[in-house]
Chains A and B, each alone.
Chain A
Amino acid sequence: MNVRVVENVRKANDEVASLNRREFDRQRVFCVNLMGGPGCGKTSWLERTLEGLAGEATVGVLTGDLTTTRDADRIARHTEHVAQINTGRGCHLEAHQVREGLDLLDLEALDLLVLENVGNLICPVAWDLGQHARVAMFSVPEGEDKPAKHPWIVLAADLVLLNKLDLLPYVPFDMEVFRRDLASVRDDVALLEVSAARGDGFDAWLRWLRAGMLRFSLSRAEARA
């Protein structure tokens, strides 16, 4: 006998992601899914971000790694609103893990929640976590060929960050090729060239985050009115 199905195999994940998104909407929290390869500088960039928004916005971080709490320990120096999700053999965060992580955070207190995905340029793209925006981070030492080798993350991203600009004098990296390859996948993608160590591009990043948070704080104000 033949049984016709036609079902997305990530249906269960996508249903939980929708619940997460509804929860972020209800609590008026701007949620960003930060994706990038291992060692591209996601945690360092987040540490700088937490310093930059201190006193202005309350930021929570759910950080995903196969093992250890090292990233969460670093983030915890800057915010009390942090929880580590260990994915075991899983190479990406899934929506149910975020849902469980939310139980460890006071979502109501937050203006911004960052989901720091497991270091990986492939798998995280396919799994909706319920975020409002996806940010893809590349870095100079990884080489200029990453957008061409990983076009899906470029297609999925609302913003692309190129980190470790400070290393340009020391490692081979062809910026022209990087920009051209990025534009061959999407010529309207927003790109910020940044340095977590030196602060390049940081103000533009904060403006981008503020615009996202403003959308939600405005809706929060409307809800109170």
Chain B
Amino acid sequence: MHEMSIVESLADAVRRHLPKGARLVRAMVDVGALEHLDFMVMESAWSGLTTEPPLAGAELVLRRVDIRARCGGCGKEYVPPDPAWMVCPDCGIARPEIVRGAGVTLMSLEAERKEGDA
């Protein structure tokens, strides 16, 4: 269900950004590791939600973005080994500001002119 609502929002965003008269070939999407989104479920939701042109048959390309945090103590950036272990390797406290790895971002679209269009 979580994946379905995200993919619905994604399909809406794609429709808004797709050039007029173009057919979508693939959509490139960055998915933060903190989102706990299952890629297979997302792909299945995408197939179910994109049965009509101009999105029909288009590929959803998902890229997982690892978590990166900035320490609230020493200010250094670090990659936690696990989301449940946010302790700064330099100063040993856990006051992370997440700088990467949260959110879902539509990065780009690959599209082509529909057949018959000039």
Contacts and interface: CB of A to CB of B under 8 A. Distances in A.
B109 A3 contact: yes
Contacts of B22: 1
Contacts, number: 107
Given A3-B18, A185-B94, A187-B93, A8 B111 contact: no
Contact of A185 (B19, B72, B84): B84
B94 A187 contact: yes
Interface stretch (A9-17, A26-34, A69-77, A205-213): A9-17
Given A2-B108, A91-B1, A155-B96, 5 more contacts: A1-B113, A3-B19, A122-B36, A123-B2, A186-B94
22 contacts: A2-B110, A3-B111, A4-B107, A4-B108, A9-B9, A9-B13, A9-B29, A9-B106, A12-B12, A91-B5, A92-B5, A123-B1, A123-B2, A151-B34, A152-B83, A155-B98, A181-B84, A184-B84, A184-B86, A185-B84, A185-B94, A186-B96
Interface of A: 1-13, 89-92, 94, 122-123, 126, 147-149, 151-152, 155, 181, 183-188
